[in-house]
Each structure stands twice: as C-alpha cells, then as structure tokens.
Structure 1
Amino acid sequence: MKWHHVQENWPAFFDAILDRWPEADETDLEEIDGDQRAFIAYVAELTGQEPADAREEIRDWLAGELPSDVVMDPRHDNHSIALSSKYIPEGEDESDDDARFGDDAANG
C-alpha cells in the first residue's frame, strides 16, 4: 500500500497501527493525523530507534496488504473478489450467488 492510502484514511488504520505497534496511543495517533514525518518520529520514539530505522520499519509495514475495510471502492472490491478465486472450487465462479450461505435476496 502507499502512504496516501494511509493518510486519506488515517483513523481507519488505527487498529492496524496498534496491531503493529501495541504501545502506540490512539490519542497520539489522532494528533499525528496522517502526517508521515510525524508518524516516523512517533514510531522512532516508541521503539527507541533512529528515524531512518523507524522509516524502514514503516516501509515494511506498508508492504502489507491494504486492509479491506479501509478503501470502499468497487475497483478494489472487484480486485479482492478476483483474488479470492484461488480459494473457490473448480467449476464455481467467485462471483456466483451462494444462496446456501444465507443470501437474503435468494431467500426473500
């Protein structure tokens, strides 16, 4: 993911940040408000690292997947659905209606 995803959706990343840096404080994160330099300085302070090392740690964190609840965009959703095809049995389409799993429209 790119920093602009984080910056544009800053509060939505709090859980992911707290998972990665459990010692982080939500109030501090609110004050940072998506500012990359401030976040680097904050992570450096939290971890006792030099800012360059904190920047590298954040870069590694950014290499992960974009949390699905962060970006609500049909292009992103469709991409995620397409990627899920590796978990779908052969002969079934990843976009098929799965009424047997409680699809309200099919039961209604």
Structure 2
Amino acid sequence: MKWQHVQENWPAFAEAILDRWPEADEAELEAIDGDQRAFIGYIAELTGQEPGEARDEIREWLVGELPSDVVMDPRHDNHSIALSAKYVNEGEDEFDDDSRFGDDDA
C-alpha cells in the first residue's frame, strides 16, 4: 500500500499501527494525523532507532495488506463495487439491485 492510503484513512489505521507498535500512544497517533514525517519521527523516538531505520521499518509495514477497517469503510463501497465488475456476468450491471438474493429485507 502507499502512504497516501494511510494518510487518507489515518483513523482507520490506528489499530494496525498499535498492532505493529504496541507501545505507541493513541493520543500521539491522533495528533500525527497522517503526517508521514511526524510518524517516522515518532516511530524513531518510540523504538530508539535512527529516522532512516524507522522509515525502513514503516516501509516494510506498508508492504502488508490494508487493514479491514480501511477496506470496509463506506467511502470505498462504490470503488469496491466497480472492481467487482469482472465477476459479474456479461450484460449485468454491478450496481444493479441484488434483491433477488433475499438479503435486502434482513
């Protein structure tokens, strides 16, 4: 994933950051608010590393999957639906109502 994903969805990444760096403080993370330089500095201070080492550690973390909180964010629904088009039969619209599956009234 790219830093842009992290920056745009910063609150949703809090749990993933705390999983990776459990000693991190939620209030500090909230104050960082997606600022990459501030986050690198914070992780460097937190782990006792040089900023370059912290940057490398963060880059390694970015190689992982997007946290489910980000993937499931309602703002991403239309994008996700559009990506599902490759699984929809020819002649059907991925944005069509799916009421025939019986889950709309649940």
Corresponding residue of 2:26: 26
**Relative to structure 1, is the Cα distance of residues 77 and 52 closer, same or farther in structure 2, using a 3 angstrom cutoff?**
farther
**TM-score between both structures, scaled by the size of structure 2:** 0.71
Runs of 4+ in 1 over 2 A off after TM superposition: 71-79
Corresponding residue of 1:64: 64
**Relative to structure 1, is the Cα distance of residues 26 and 33 closer, same or farther in structure 2, using a 3 angstrom cutoff?**
same
User: Contact (CA 8 Å) 2:43, 2:54: kept in 1 or not?
Assistant: yes
Q: CA deviation at 1:67?
A: 1.6
Aligned-partner Cα distance in 1 for 2:81–2:16: 19
The worse-fitting range, judged by mean Cα deviation, of 47-56 and 62-71 is 62-71
Identity of aligned residues (%): 69
Corresponding residue of 2:45: 45
Q: CA deviation at 1:78?
A: 6.2
Corresponding residue of 2:80: 76
- What residue ranges of structure 2 are gaps of 5+ in the alignment? 88-100
Corresponding residue of 2:8: 8
RMSD: 2.8
3-state SS in 2 of match to 1:15 = helix
Q: CA deviation at 1:77?
A: 5.6
Aligned residues: 93
**What whole-Å deviation, never above 9, does each CA across 1:42-72 have from its counterpart, x for those lacking one?**
0001111110000000001100111232142
User: Contact (CA 8 Å) 2:40, 2:51: kept in 1 or not?
Assistant: yes
User: Contact (CA 8 Å) 2:13, 2:69: kept in 1 or not?
Assistant: no
User: Contact (CA 8 Å) 2:44, 2:51: kept in 1 or not?
Assistant: yes
**TM-score between both structures, scaled by the size of structure 1:** 0.70
